[in-house]
């Protein structure tokens, strides 16, 4: 017998102070939704762009992802009039359609290793075991949909966000790799270097065949950011980006600009020297990653996000059930061998939501 | 001439939802302060413990830190009665005493490389150049003072936080290094391994002599955390820890548990298998770093924080002034060659503030 | 020509800090919805109770309300498992079914007197004229649905909320009127005194016949409130109740306990003297209305809410259109002659949401 | 013996979302302070104006107020450079100087009728009995100081706030009274009609002589408000004003525009008809009080605030102590016979803080 000391929940499903989203829904429930509050009125909404990003995230899109096949079409329930935002909250809804809850029946009372099963049960005293319930990465579909609208707002201000796969296991780009942005959506792993993409795809294929999974890194680049976004001392732009990324399922690390490499550098190497370029202040190098003192400095913002290997493997694993007894778990269902190709639009979405929020927070001119 | 497009500020100096702090003050102003709102009534306050943590952070404490010598004594302005909290907001105040503002006179119109000078000026249109003003790491004294009170609250719940220096430049502990926690406060670099500490101290000495600076890594371990802290999907415990750490000056990266190493691992290696231990559910390994699905699972929480090299170097550097003209900057004043020894209590303070907040958020039992 | 200087919107559709709701939807759009975040796990949800309160609010329920006939049935989209809350956000959805948008066609470019037409247009630069769009009182259906769940939580803690109609125009209860709580839902005007109810119904009938409307007062009583709810100095229980009530459409005033009458009293009359009653501290009188210093004192909480006459009258009115030209407006559609009978469940819902939030904020015991 | 079930506190000392204040300090502690976060950079600060408003609030200013004599001088601890705001948080500090804590010794274990003594003790389990501690109206000095800075911001945008005494007991202005704004600061009761002021002063004198106290009404008028402030559906401008006012000590009621009088009116009387005036849209009447649908419509905003009689009377009163025993309380100390003359600047301050916050929330233009 295990003694549980259940704790009450106190919210936590809202992100953003002015451009603010609240997500809801479970993996095998009615669907997944999100309410955006604070989107300025008068913004043109292109529903196709929401669908496009959802397609980039959706399962079943290629052989390197899960074979679950969810169309993930999004309805706009409120907040627009003739495809223009009205200033009212925008609710988006993605109905669930292809759930196979029976795949999870055997997990009702067991805790899968490195999943949220145990910590959710121990916290809430009740757990929706079907597909992970609320802890499922399916929830990120709502973020991608909301992020698509944030991107439309950023687009209006000429801010561009592009993420891509930087590493799959130990197959990785490095600082000198050739980068071709047009390549990203041309290969199923979303790597901007065709040769490395091919290696990644082949590696994922082998790992999948072995019933195993592997981690990876997504890199994100943001250009066109005005100088002055970020609200020190706590709501620094980098701090809010870090929170945004670490709130994504399976993320284990975040680094801005030089990141952990900076810890091995000296000040004389790492300092980004200011100079003029066509009437604008720029820096010669950009180890700062576009953010200094928590505030954007006009240089490109870039950061890396570390994803762990997917916890569901097609191998037998020992575990514990709610009674504290040993159990042996056999995976069923359809799962991703590597999450990073589908994580690319999720990282972009969370970056877009963070930037949109900070854009509104810093929107007015000084006195 | 440079065209600035100043942006308005919109707050950002508050951290925490229920155990909430707001810091204020500048490096060379009257002092540094903090208001804690939401600390439960009836907590015993030991002012000595606040002083102790301030001593661990204060400049001038050893030859590996700056030679500025600030006593950093803290007054409690409100919120206690006979050293017990009353439930009213607790204001703490650390007067500035040893500022040498003349050291900064030559910087009034210039932007130091990799400092916040430029981004602050471009955002606010006005900059307190003396010692960095609000962007100075002196602001973290307020966090350390508030963190000491958060630690008293956590202590009541048997939660313990210990940070230490993991790496200075490329001199680093690794997974197999001997760790002696009692050693941490015995050496001036705060490394739990005496031999490696000696190497670090020697390395910092050489770098200082060369007028240069170096980065480093602080690792933090938290034990005794109850199962169930963290509020998915956005206010995950790891997401709020990441934001807390990335809000500290000079931080470039954060990784929980296995961190970036996880990206090179396979699911079969990385999964933390559950088992029973003395009636409690534990995991055999702890790559998750004590947090699963954003919620603490009762295992020790641990994470690493990457600090860049200090931007102020004792070497001449080229830069730009507010008119967009080239200038040559010579460093004056008293600065740290490596920030990590003094960052240890700051990391602990931000961890304590995050945990105290989540403890209050998850404090009541389920229905 | 009118010069408009449109202002951006910055959210505002969320209420509550821990038991937090976000509403969305428009009068003539797809429907009205709400997301509740922070409802504790393990609460039994009775969907019938949601329907019952929606029935009390819905149009077309009697001859004293509008003849619009909306069934207002509510779907639970997320957050429950077998009718128990899981701690995940609870989304509720009420589809629109009986909209007659053509009734509003003639108002597309005109501003109805004392409606939100002008201020919405001037703020957002775009207006959903059909049925008032987001400014319609139809939005309160979402509050009533969420409030029904808040009532289930309060019920668990033995807190009871009862509102009723206190006055319609100048027909009013007074301090000495006989009150029969069982009568409230027995008459269509929801007044706890049968005779006065009869007078109110008759008065509304006459006003309706004249194509006019009338204001009124709703009184709300809350019993079983534990001592200690309310978070001074700003989040006083009375301050949050006032905000809750003033956020309801058509509300013009709020008074707690003795209210405006207190301004004409002397301290010696008004002071509520403490005494013991069955081992509990009570007050002899309750001019304080159950809240002292912003904190509940265990006595019944009661307050009054003033509603203005409905702005839509069946009479011709002059106004201005978006071009600044004079127009003559003829009312069409189906409207309420007096809003207070239907406002009773709305006042209860907002009171329940405020109390539930404060109950969670004050839920843990002191150290 | 009384059984107490102490509840934990969860903050509540912050007001405002973007222009945000956090107050701290107790009546007989070190002093009273406030941190303003979110004040735009570049605003000129005139410390004299802070002092002036503090003088209007301070005790001992005239024979109609308490004879306590506190100079209430305010220090600016942070956030300005050469009397210009820098965008950093602004901390203000008013040291306590004239406390006579011995006046409260006899109250250490007793609960004064209609004070916050009992509810504070029952909530926090610890009470600073000296002068009411945190529950003292002395806390409002911090609001007045912060409000003075909010007024400087509003002044920049041509928004003007003027409050005055509308009623003392049953001596009251009415809709037809002559109003001379220049008179307000010319008489000690702050009434804009000299004759009525004289009656009020005489009435307060008699009540004071009888050892009694009396309530009153403060009216506040705000002009120059741009169209479009207020964030429906919850953060309506009127809802936030109501919360602001109800958060002031001793306030029992709030009414906007026509207020409770509206409940007795018919739609045909109450509707504010739009018309053009010098190219601007205005309303013929202003029963709406300048706010429609929660959003300012450009007309003057006005509201009334009801204050109860001061609870401390110079008469013997029976009460209960912490042991549940009957006690007889004799008032000592120096107290106000009527709070409204000193409440005028407090009402103005809370109005200014609310308007400043909403001005920042609605500051950017639509897309």
CB atoms within 10 A of CB C23: 28
Q: Is D3 a domain residue?
A: no
Based on the structure, what is the number of domains in chain B? 1
Q: Are A43 and D367 inside 8 Å of each other by CB?
A: yes
Q: What is the pLDDT of residue A62?
A: 86
Q: Determine, for residues C6 and D207 on separate chains, whether the beta-carbon distance falls below 8 Å.
A: no
User: Is the pLDDT assigned to residue B251 strictly greater than 90?
Assistant: yes
Residue of C nearest to D123 (CA): C228
Is a pLDDT exceeding 60 seen at residue C266? Answer: yes
Q: Which chains touch C (3 or more CB pairs under 8 A)?
A: A, B, D
Q: What are the counts of helices (DSSP H) followed by strands (DSSP E) for chain C?
A: 7, 19
Q: Which residues contact B268 (CB under 8 A, 6 or more apart)?
A: A212, A313, A315
Confirm whether B249 is domain-assigned. Answer: yes
Look at C35 and A41 and tell me if their CB atoms are within 8 Å: no
Q: What is the 3-state secondary structure (H, E, C) of chain C?
A: CCCCCCECCCCCCEECCCCEEEEEECCCCCEEEEEEECCCCCCECCHHHHHHHHHHHCCCCCCCCCCCCCCCCEEECCCEECCEECCCCEEEEEECCCCCHHHHHHHCCEECCCCCHHHHHHHHCCCCCHHHHHHCHHHHHHHHHHHHHHHHHHHHCCCEEEEEEEEECCEECCCCCCCCHHHHHHCCCCCCCHHHHHHHHHHHHHHHHCCCCECEEEEEEEECCCCCCCECCCECHHHHHHHHHHCCCCEEEEEECCHHHHHHCEHHHHCCCEEEECCEEEECCCCCCCEECCEECCCCEEEEEEECCCCCCCCCEEEEECCCCEEEECCCCCCCCCCHHHHHHHHHHHHHHHHHHHHHHCCCECC
Judge: D41–A360 Cβ closer than 8 Å, yes or no. no
Residue C364 scores a pLDDT above 60: no
The alpha carbon dihedral of D256, D261, D264, D267 has a sign of negative
Q: What is the pLDDT of residue C9?
A: 65
Q: Which of B19, B23, B87, B141 is the mutation pick for testing D, counting most D CBs within 10 A? A: B87
Please report all neighbours of B, defined by 3+ CB atom pairs within 8 A.
A, C, D
Q: Which residue from B minimizes the CA distance to A296? A: B119
Task: Give the pLDDT confidence of A191-200 residue by residue, as tens digits.
Answer: 999 999 999 9
How far apart CA A309 and CA A311 sit, in angstroms, is: 6
Identify the pLDDT of residue A8.
63
Q: Which of A278-287, B347-356, C328-337 has the lowest mean pLDDT?
A: C328-337
The reported pLDDT for the residue numbered D98 is 72
B257-286 pLDDT, tens digit each: 999 999 999 999 999 999 999 989 999 999
Q: Which CATH number characterizes residue D245's domain?
A: 3.60.150.10
Structure tokens at D244: 């602001």
Residue C176 neighbours by CB distance under 10 Å: 6
Q: In the beta sheet, which residues pair with residue D186? A: none
- Average pLDDT (B86-105) is 86
Q: Which residues of chain D have pLDDT under 50?
A: 365-366
Helix count (H) and strand count (E) of chain A? Answer: 7, 19
- Among A40, A366, A367, whose Cβ lies nearest the Cβ of D367? A40
B47 vs chain A: nearest CA distance in angstroms? Answer: 25
Flag whether pLDDT at A365 surpasses 50. no
Percentage of chain C surpassing pLDDT 70? 95
Q: Given this model, what pLDDT does residue B365 score?
A: 44
- Give a yes or no: residue B3 inside a domain: no
> For residues D354 and D19, is the Cβ–Cβ distance under 8 A?
no
In degrees rounded to 5, what are phi and psi of residue A242? -60, -45
Please, what is the average pLDDT of chain A? 92
pLDDT of residue C330: 85
In the structure encoding, which two tokens stand for residue A249, read together? 């399922």
Residue in chain A closest to D86 (alpha carbons) equals A366
* Cα of A15 to nearest chain C Cα, Å: 12
Q: What is the pLDDT of residues A134-144, one digit of tens each?
A: 999 999 999 99
Distance from CA of C351 to the nearest CA of B (A): 21
The region of weakest confidence among A203-207, B46-50, C328-332, D346-350 is C328-332
At residue C6, does pLDDT exceed 70? no
B240 contacts A243? CB cut-off 8 A: yes
Strand partners, A37: A20
Residue of higher predicted confidence among C43 and B67: C43
Question: What is the pairing mode between strands A171-172 and A160-168?
Answer: antiparallel
Residue D5 placed within a domain: no
Chain A residue set in contact with D, beta carbons under 8 Å = 17-18, 40-43, 153, 156, 360, 363-364, 366-367
Domain hosting B254: range is: 14-361
Strands C280-283 and C251-256: unpaired
Give the CA distances from residue D204 to residues C5, D168, D200, D299, in Å, rounded to whole numbers and listed in that order. Answer: 47, 8, 6, 34
Structure tokens at D339: 């709070």
- What integer pLDDT is reported at residue D365 of this predicted model? 45
Say if strands C74-76 and C90-95 run parallel, antiparallel, or are unpaired: antiparallel
The confidence score (pLDDT) of residue D222 equals 98
pLDDT > 70 in chain B, percent: 95
Q: Residues C303-351: pLDDT tens digits?
A: 999 999 999 999 999 999 999 999 999 877 778 999 999 999 999 999 9
Q: Binning pLDDT at 50, 70 and 90, where does residue B331 land? A: confident
pLDDT at C103 over 90: no
A185-200 as b/e: b if 16+ CB within 10 A: eebbbbbbbeebbeeb
Assigned domain for A366 exists = no
Mean pLDDT for B340-359 is 97
pLDDT for the residue numbered C152: 97
Q: Does residue C9 fall inside a structural domain? A: no
Q: Has residue C5 been placed in a domain?
A: no
Chain B positions in Cβ-Cβ contact with residue A293 (cut-off 8 Å): 115-116, 119-120, 135, 249
CA–CA separation, D113 and C274 (whole Å) = 6
- Residue C148's pLDDT is 98
ipTM associated with this complex: 0.96
Give Cβ neighbours of residue D224 (< 8 Å, ≥ 6 apart): D157, D158, D159, D160
Evaluate whether C113 touches C86 at the Cβ level (below 8 Å). Answer: no
CA D339 to chain centre: 10
Q: What is the mean pLDDT of residues A310-318?
A: 94
Spatial separation of the C-alpha atoms in residues A204 and A187, rounded to whole Å? 13
> Pick from C11, C42, C128: which is nearest to A86 by CB?
C128
Q: Which residue has the tokens 């949050």?
A: C240
Within a domain: B253: yes
Residues in A touching C18 (Cβ below 8 Å): 10-11
Q: How far from each other are the two terminal CA atoms of chain D, in whole angstroms?
A: 65
Closest chain C CA to residue D172: C264
């Amino acid at each position: 017998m295990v003694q549980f000391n259940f704790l009450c929940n106190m919210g936590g499903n809202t992100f953003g102070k002015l451009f603010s989203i609240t997500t809801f829904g479970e993996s095998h429930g009615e669907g997944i939704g999100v309410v955006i509050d604070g989107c300025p009125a008068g913004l043109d909404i292109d529903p196709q762009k929401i669908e496009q990003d959802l397609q980039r995230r959706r399962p079943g899109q290629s052989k390197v992802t899960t074979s679950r096949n969810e169309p993930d079409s999004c309805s706009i329930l409120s907040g627009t009039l003739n495809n223009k935002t009205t200033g009212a909250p925008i609710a988006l809804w993605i109905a669930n359609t292809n759930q196979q809850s029976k795949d999870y029946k055997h997990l009702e009372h067991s805790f899968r290793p490195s999943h949220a099963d145990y910590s959710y049960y121990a916290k809430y005293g009740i757990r929706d075991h079907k597909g992970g319930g609320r802890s499922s990465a399916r929830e990120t579909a709502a973020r991608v949909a909301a992020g698509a609208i944030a991107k439309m707002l950023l687009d209006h201000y000429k801010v561009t966000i592009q993420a891509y796969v930087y590493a799959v296991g130990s197959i990785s780009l490095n600082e000198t790799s050739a980068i071709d942005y047009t390549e990203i959506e041309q290969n199923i792993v979303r790597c901007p270097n065709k040769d490395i993409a091919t290696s990644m795809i082949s590696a994922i294929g082998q790992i999948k065949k072995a019933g195993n999974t592997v981690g990876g890194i997504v890199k994100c680049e943001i250009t066109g950011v005005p100088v002055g976004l970020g609200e020190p001392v706590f709501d620094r732009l980098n701090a809010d980006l870090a929170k945004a990324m670490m709130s994504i399922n399976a993320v284990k690390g975040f680094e801005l600009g030089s990141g952990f490499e900076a810890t091995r550098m000296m000040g004389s190497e790492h300092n980004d020297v200011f100079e003029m370029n066509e009437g604008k202040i720029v820096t010669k190098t950009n180890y700062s990653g576009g953010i200094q003192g928590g505030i954007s400095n006009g240089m490109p913002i870039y950061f890396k996000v570390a994803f762990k290997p997917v916890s569901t493997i097609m191998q037998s694993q020992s575990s514990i059930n709610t009674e504290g007894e040993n159990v042996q778990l056999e995976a069923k269902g359809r799962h991703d061998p590597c999450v990073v190709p589908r994580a690319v639009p999720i990282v972009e979405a969370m970056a877009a939501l963070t930037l949109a929020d900070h854009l509104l927070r810093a929107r007015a001119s000084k006195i």
